[in-house]
Structure 1
Amino acid sequence: MENESAILALGALAQSTRLDTFRLLVRHEPDGLAAGDIARALDVPQNTMSAHLATLARAGLVTSERHSRSIVYRADLDTLKALTLFLVKDCCGGRAELCEPLIAELTPCC
């Protein structure tokens, strides 16, 4: 991931409703959620939610697919992975032992 893409993604997430939306979509992978369901779950007007979803889509954080009369949104986990790796790539100056607590927190238990 390049700096500009990371800045765009982080900027999109730097707003409460968009951050909540992205986290909600991550929880609903792989099925995603319809735009109306997202708006209701977060108690946000549908037109406002549409604007937030468009911002997340421009940043590459969500994808959408039309299903009949609904548009279903999904978190783009590849972009999430790339952004996370971008942020921690040079973690602790290459001293892996300093990153162990972070890795342990991200690694699900058996």
Structure 2
Amino acid sequence: MVIMISDFWGENNKAALGQINFKHDFIPIRIADPMELHLPDAGRVILKDPETGKSMFLNLSRQDVRETHANAVHLHREKWTQDFRRLGIDFLDLQTTDNFMPPLRALFARRSRKFSR
């Protein structure tokens, strides 16, 4: 069994994930922080990408900026959801504010029923 815990923001090699799923029991667990999904009305901020070091200046008091971000996040996450489903990969979505045990138990119970047939 291979469990991959990620936010799936980077450009992962989807073909490689499909190969992992073909050869192993592969379960991606997608983690999201609610603050990343819906930016707060926080005025002018500087955001720094921890991976690239690039900084971005945003005015989060503008509703159109927050809505554009929320739409882009939704589309990105929906694309990954479609890719997981297309590849036949059973995945789990969690938020950092969630109690992870109930959804994790439900996932393994569902998989247990599926594979016991």
Q: If each structure's strand is expressed as a fraction of its own residues, which one has the higher value?
A: 2
Q: If each structure's helix is expressed as a fraction of its own residues, which one has the higher value?
A: 1
Give the structure-2-normalised TM-score. Answer: 0.26
Give the structure-1-normalised TM-score. Answer: 0.27
